[in-house]
Every structure is written in C-alpha cells, then in structure tokens.
Structure 1
C-alpha cells in the first residue's frame, strides 16, 4: 500500500537543551536542577554520566543542522534553557545565550528547517527551585517573564512555540515517584505543581497574544491512552481515573480552558486539591492553545486494584488502579516497553471527537534500544526494528489523517543519540549514532530510510 501524507507535512525530530547542548557550566549558563542533583547524587545517573557535555550541540550545532538537512528534515524541535538565557531565573539576560540561540535559529532557517521552540523541558533553574520551583507562585511569574523575553528575542523567526514539554513528567518524577529532583513523594504537593504549571502555561500564552507576533502557541503533552483490562465496570473506572490524572489533568485545561469536573471532585473527596485563588479560572480560560504536540511511546494498560491500600501508605494515583500486562502484547525487547502502534490513531480520534480537532502533530515517538552497538554491521547500525516501529506508527497516523484528523507532522525522538536524564546514554533513540568517546556522528539505516520518506512525503 502507498501512504501519501498531506502537502507541507512536517518531517523531523525532537530534542531538548539539557539533553543535547552540553556546555552546561559554560557560556554564562546558570545551574539547573540537573547540574545540582548530579553534584549531590551522581550515583542516581546511569554509569554516573551527567549532562555536562551531552551531545555537544552547543559547539556542533552548525554541522548537526546540516546532518538534519541530509536526512530530509523540514522541521526540528528543541528547547531554550531558561538557566542559560536567564541564569538566576529572573533578572539579567545572558548575552552569550542570546547569541547561541540566535545562531541556532538562523542556521535552521537558512537550511529551510522550521524551528519549533519549547520553553520548558524539565530544566528548572536551581535559583528558582531554591525558592520552591513551581510550588511557589512567584516562580510562575518568573517563567512567564522568561517566555516573554524569548518571544521578543526570537519571535521574528520562530512561529511555532510550545510552553511546556510533558508537564506531567516533572510532577510524577519530582513529586510522586522520586525519579527527578527534588525527589519529593507527596501527592498534594504534586497536585500543586501540576496546577501551577497550568497557570504558568496560561500566563505565557497571555504574554504571547499580547505581543501580536506572527505565529502559534501550544503545549506538548505525552498523551498515553489508558486501556482497561476488560469491560468490567471496575476496570473501566480504573482506566477512567488513570486518564483523568495523567492525560486530562493537562489536556482539558490547555484545550478547553477548564478542568474536568470529575477530577476536581476526586481530589476534593481525598483532600488533595491545590489552593485555588481568585482569578485563576479566568486565567486558565485564557490559556487555550492554538496547536498541540503529542508525544506517544507506549500504551498504559490498567485494571482494578487487586489488594486493599495500606492505611499508612502515602496517597498515590495507584490507589485507584493496578498496572496490567496484557498477554500476547508486542514488545520492544531492548527497552522493556510495549509497542502498540494503534495508540497513535486512538489519540488522534479522541482529539478529533472530544477536543475540537485542533491542529496537532506527533512531537515525539521513538524506540529506545540498550546496547545498540550489537547491531553494528560494516560501521553502520542496522536498525530495521526502528524502521518497522516508525512505519507501523505512520500507517496508523495516516489512517487518522484520512479520517479527518488535523495532524500536520511527525517528529521522531530523537536526532542523535542523546543524554536522557537519570538514564544518561543507556537507551539509544537517534537517527544518528553518537560515539561518546569521540563525539562522532554516524547515520543509522533508519536515518537513510527517513530521508526517503521525507523526500517522497510518504512511503
């Protein structure tokens, strides 16, 4: 079968500042929570590897952008490091950072690669974390001012802006499950951070619209469909609560300008509702987005809880469901994640039927592989498994578009194998292999395949 994509479809990849730039203690950059946490607990990072050098995009952006061009990118998403641009989170703007981001954006534009710019990708400046991070409303204003600085500096060339990438992840990692700094386990504080992130997002949207710059503003959400084990009412209820907490807690306020009533009732019932101030609801209503980025890797499968909750255990989302491993599921054996290509179609269908079919694109999708060098043949990674993974998702994406979804692009995570938070370089995701010792980049088979897909606008 021939899969042709709409005219002007965006083909490319996604990355973030912390995961690629390196130079994390250079160029006038302030300390981020990642720099700080690594100093405190290097043992929490795979093989003790920090983001200090990452994949050296700070030095190599020009040749890297050429490599993007070589494999058919017409768009690329990355983020601006708040701690690099405004080292203390507020106040002085770092001119070296302004020069760097101007150079990156100019180079992308010169190569006809549209820059998609995200403002926050898990990297709180340490100076802001020290006063409470997103638990503190002062930090929301600081973030909105940072956003405004970016719009003014780069808005003449950047027309696709995103306030946050996967805002649920710092909530889960930093305040529920201890896989990001500040390693808090406290649902109410987590709910506060989530709520304040939505307010910060809305403040940035208001600033953007006030400037009347040419372009769109959106948010990037990891929408993971919650599939129930069965149609038993207890399983359906478990899946619904899971969906409310992990998807709709950000999707509804960003697209509809309000929270699902069901979620509010649930948190109220368990005394976990954050403090709501006068004017908050009006602000959230003003934060409705123009465009949505969708990150999708794997499905979430749940069932009703099997056991009673320990009366002294901290309140957690898992009080309402258990995770479920579906028999016969297709797996990525190199990463331990389920592969379920149809998930991408289910997300697009949900957005079309329940969220006004706003313009969206797949902002991340990808396949992580540990020990990928075992697939090296004559100097090239033969990643047929990644080609198959991308193709399977694109087939379902195509079906969604065929049925009327307003999806306008597909970005793989990621361009070059990059540093990934506490996993560092454990799992490789890139179109290009990165040799950590020499920083040499080598195109994988999937990169060459993707170049053809982009050239033909289909396969």
Structure 2
C-alpha cells in the first residue's frame, strides 16, 4: 500500500488521558479541587455529571487497555493523581491501594506493548493544599509537589521512562484565577502571574529531582518533559498595533512556560511588561538559578486551536484589577472554520507553524504532539446499523493536522510522535461528557459499555502503516 504521508521510524502513535478524567473517585485518600467543587456545586457541571465514576478506569483498566491496544496505540499518556497516591502530603507517606493500582496499570500497559507516559499534575491539585496554603500561589505547595514527584519516581521509575511534570500549566492560572472556568473561580491577575512563576519553579524542581533519581539509580534512558498547550497568536492585520497585540498574547499565553522549560529563562519582554504593570511575581535569585539549570529533556505540545488578537479598541474595565487583556483583544477571523460543538477554530496549519517555531527558536528540542482532537456533542446519532459510531469528521480532522505535521517533519522539525485526545471518551471538567473526543465510545455512562468508533479502526491502520 502506498503511503503518501510516511512518518519517522518508531513514531509514537498514541493518545492521552488523565487520572482525574478517567479513574473515578474509588478508594481515593483525598479530594482534588474538582471532587470538592462537584461536592459543593454539582449544578456547575453539564447534566450534573461529576468525576465520581468518570470512565471507570480504576475498575476496568485491564479491559480499557486491551481496547487501547485494539485501536493501535503504541504509547499512552495518563497521570498519577496526587490526591490518590499521597496519604500524607508533608511526610511523603503513600496510600497502599494507590501504589497497587498504579503498579498494575503500568505493568498492564507494558504487557500490552504500550509505552506508558506518566504525568504528575493535570490541573488536579488536592483541595486541602488550596484551602490550607493557597494552592499554587504558595511556594510551600511547590515543595510539597517535589515530595510527591520524588515518590512517583521512586515507586514507578524502574518501568516508566517518560515523565511529564505538568499538563497545560497555563490553564491553572487561566481557569482558576482569570476566567473562572476551574475552581477556585477567582479573578486575580496578580495571583495568576505569581502562579505562572511558581509552577515554572515547581516544574524545574521536578526535573531536577528526576535527574537526581536517574543518576542515583543508574538510569540512562529516562527523560522528563512538560506538556504545554501552544495556541499560536495571529494578528488581525500587519499594522504595528495588531502585531504588538498578538505578540503579547504569544509571549504571555505560550512563552511564559515554553521559554523557562526549554531555555531556562522567562522572556525579557514579558518580565518588563509585567514589571511596568506592577504585577511581576516574587522571585529569589536561587530560584531563578534552579529554573535556569533544570530545563526539560523533551517537550509535549497540545494543539487544538489558534489564538487571534488585535489591538484594543476599547479600554479594559480595570475594576477587576490587572488582566492580560490590557494588552490585546481577541479577534474573530471572519474566514475561520469553527467546530460548532466546542466553538473552537479548526486551523491545521498552526501545527506546522509550531513545528517550525520549535525547530528555529527552541534548539530543535525533541517534541511530540501530546494532544490534538475534536470534541463532538451527540455522537450517538452517528451510530450506523452495526452500532459503530461513524466519525469520519474525526478521521478528516486528524488527517488534516497530520499532513501539516508531516510537512514540518520533512523540513527538519524534531517531532517523534502524535497523541490524540483521547483514547476513551472521558469526563471533562465542567463539560463532563457533553463533547466526546475518544477513539473508543463510552456508550452508556450507567453501564460503562465501551465500543470502538470508526476512527479507532482507522487509527489502528495509521499506527500499523506508520502513515496514511
């Protein structure tokens, strides 16, 4: 069979999920912020569906991993829940059932020929650390994160060789401290900026701890990275004002995590603007040294949609204090193709622009697409006579993005894989199960019956042929 788009040897064909979105709350030692939020305000979640069961991965992981193998996944990223693993956040005492569970999950992935990629934080900070210390506003929590990270490496690092410190760290300040779509639902720009700094410091300390672990254990093939949601910012026009607005959106949304992770320093322009605006973070020279000396081994890039920006045409309402929108306004491009279910622009070329940016401006660090996907509401209506969901729109979405990714690789981008969001339809924060992303459907939330979609059959051929 002729493959028009052939990918590099040993390419990762996989998918990504997370502990809080798949496992359910069974036998957990503590609540994370989403567990707490659901317990206190279930109406905030679509159809009042919370994280209590999710896709039942805690109970059905063996069957679920078998389904993942059937759709051709050779690698899967999930996460270890801080709120599940740690019995005592301060002493480092772990929960025995959680250790058993994660050991069995990792062993099952390996037994099925799937490379486990383990992430440490997927927005899901234990709520006690928020209420007791202020969450990521506090450097005490940074140190508690390092205790958790070290424990993960010690328990599972003999088999897991690919680690991630944080998934989409910018979502933590954006969701919880700017735009109120994650708990604690605050609007506090100065706190958000401090959180950006503290999470960068936490990630660097997590990298440092992993490299120390590898040196102590004589592990040569272990590596650790970060997953950043890159939304390239395109200006409305080539006017200097629009270009400057898009540039600020770029350095705040993307480079505030990309630069420290890969280059070991924050963008100088961003530091100057935040200083001039009176919201710069509190930092110590020794902390900046830790960030400088502990950059990532590889990068994960989540790409869903671009950002589009224009110069501000109206004054920002400053009654809520500082917001990044002081320096730009979102722009709706009239020619944009929109996914009507999610309201996001579909713009595959941006994946190529990311590839070239990483190649040219970030030392061509090894990286992979760690999430990309299309959420669709009401997929049951696309079920055919055989009971299979005919999601050709998802296959087309993946193909379009892979065509542009392939072009970037042909031009020298050091990309080693593509992970779809997500293997199995999962619980998604406030949206719960409104939009489905999986190669595998959760047909019924009550029975947790799962079936492979048409895209899952196609993805297996993609993986087996290493192209399409």
The interval holding the TM-score normalised by the smaller chain is over 0.9
Residues 311/148 of structure 1: CA separation in 2 closer, same or farther (3 Å cut) = closer
Counterpart residue number, 2:101: 100
Aligned to 2:126: 125
Residues 1:301 and 2:302 aligned together: no
For the pair 1:458 / 2:458, whether they are aligned, the reply is no
Decide which of 162, 174, 178 is 2:176's aligned counterpart.
174
Distance (Å, rounded) in 2 between the aligned partners of 1:312 and 1:366: 37
Q: Secondary structure at the match of 1:380?
A: coil
Q: Report if the CA contact (8 A) 2:187-2:320 is conserved.
A: no
SS at match of 2:244: helix
Please report how far the alpha carbon of residue 335 of structure 1 lies from its aligned counterpart in structure 2 after TM superposition.
2.2
Q: Could you tell me which of 419, 426, 437 is aligned with 1:411?
A: 419
**5+ long unaligned stretches in structure 2:** none
Task: Give the drift of 1:29.
Answer: 2.4
In the TM superposition, residue 28 of structure 1 has moved relative to its aligned partner by: 4.1
Shift of 1:320: 1.2
Deviation track 1:76-135 (CA, whole Å, cap 9, x = no partner) reads 000000010004433320010000000000011111100000000011012211221111
Q: Which runs of 4+ in 1 moved over 6 A?
A: none
Counterpart residue number, 2:148 = 146
- For the residue of structure 1 that corresponds to 2:113, the secondary structure is coil
2:369 corresponds to 1:368: no
**1:45 and 2:53 correspond:** no
Query: In structure 2, what is the Cα distance between the partners aligned to 1:126 and 1:299?
Result: 32
Q: Is the 8 A contact 1:14 1:412 kept in 2?
A: yes
User: Is contact 1:28-1:87 (8 Å) kept?
Assistant: no
How far apart are the structure 2 equivalents of 1:310 and 1:97? Answer: 47
CA distance, structure 1, for counterparts of residue 36 and residue 317 of structure 2: 34
User: Contact 2:163–2:225 (CA<8 Å) still a contact in 1?
Assistant: yes
Q: Equivalent of 2:342, from 335, 354, 374?
A: 335
Q: State the partner residue of 2:191.
A: 189
- Within the candidate set 429, 442, 446, 1:437 is matched to 446
| Matches for 1:222-233 after TM superposition, within 5 Å | 222-233=229-240
Q: What residue number does 1:447 align with? A: 456
- Provide the rounded CA distance (Å) in 2 between the counterparts of 1:4 and 1:373: 33
1:62 is aligned to 62
Contact 1:432 1:443 in 2 (8 A): yes
Distance 1:246-1:64 versus aligned 2 partners, 3 A rule: same
Counterparts of 2:171 and 2:33, CA distance in 1:
14
1:202 paired residue number = 204
8 Å contact from structure 1 (residues 191, 274) kept in 2: yes
Partners of 1:133 and 1:9 in 2: CA distance: 37
Gaps of 5+ in 1: none
Deviation for aligned residue 1:325: 1.2
Matched, 1:355 2:362: yes
Tell me the distance in 2 between the aligned counterparts of 1:303 and 1:418: 35
For 2:273 and 2:115, the matched residues in 1 are separated by 42
Residue in structure 2 matched with residue 384 of structure 1 by the alignment: 392
Question: What's the CA shift string for 1:369-392, capped at 9, x where partnerless?
Answer: 011112111211110000000000
For 1:395 and 1:438, the matched residues in 2 are separated by 38
- Please provide the CA RMSD for this pair: 1.1
Query: 1:313, CA displacement in angstroms?
Result: 4.2
Counterpart contact for 2:28–2:83, Cα < 8 Å:
no
